[in-house]
Amino acid sequence: MIKTPLKKSDLSDIQFTNWVDRWLPRGWRPYARLARLDRPVGTWLTLLPCLAALVQAAGGMPDVLRLVVFSLGALIMRSAGSTANDIADRKFDAHVERTRFRPLASGALRTRQALMFLLAELALAAGLLIFLNPLSRWLALSLLPLVFVYPLCKRFTHWPQVPLGAAFNWGMLMAWSDTQGTVPAGSIAMWLGAITWQVGYDTIYAYVDVADDARLKLRSTAILFAEKGRQWIGGFYAATVLFWTLGGWLLSMSPLYFAGMLIVASHLAWQAWQIDVSQPGLNFKLFRANITTGVILFASSICGTFA
């Protein structure tokens, strides 16, 4: 049971006592925080489903070069997406408890500096394209509109988590296109499951900011679901298990994969049962618990390649 409440200060995005302050020169620190290098949860949540897709596409462990390229791609594109988000939300972030110390919201960086940094991140990501096949390059380029549209979505829809989930997990489709030269129906089912999973866990995260977002007239699934968050999140988690089970069947995974899906279902059901929309600290911890979900998916995919 995780019922211990966090202090209000613990909900802040920025902690000034971590490795960024100990090891990096002062001028580099705002950029490291803008890229979320000090908060790797989002990178793991991006990378783990992508690694699972690489394993499924390869029918076992993928080659080392592909692992390195996709791991760097997850890191860089998650950082670029975070930078674009902070640029778009810089005026709102200054009025939200969790985000008010972010580099742009606090004034540690100027918008022009952040834009130049974003261009550098995108240039690094573009450099990885030389290692991909033509289909994967086109898929990578088609991701860019989602990266730039997502930060604006909370201004006009309660469902910003949907484009976020599509963008976050785009690497799952590219893993197949680069490994097999095609994107089969099973891989699309796995990707859809990752989107519903992200809608679920990012809604949990959104409950941390729900009061500030409502005051600023921003929109989110947490505001839309209100007190019925547990039921809605449980529904999205159930859809996740169904999509991933269907995907595993279409991709001819072995019985061990489906045993792993039972563990995923149990873990997500535990999360849904624990949710309390009135406890931001609890919801923050439940959000972070989804790294475990990603690890189980990855392990299940490895096991599922064995006959």
In tens, the pLDDT along 225-238 reads 999 999 999 999 99
Residues with pLDDT less than 70, the chain: 1-14, 307
pLDDT at 12: 65
Distance CA 137, CA 290 (A): 29
What lies within 8 Å, CB to CB, of 69 at 6+ separation is: 128, 131, 132
pLDDT at 94: 86
pLDDT at 294: 97
**pTM as predicted:** 0.91
pLDDT at 77: 92
Distance CA 232, CA 240 (A): 12
Q: How many CB atoms lie within 10 A of CB 144?
A: 15
What lies within 8 Å, CB to CB, of 203 at 6+ separation is: 161, 220, 221, 222, 225, 229, 232, 233, 236
Q: What is the CA radius of gyration of the chain?
A: 19
3-class DSSP state of 276:
coil
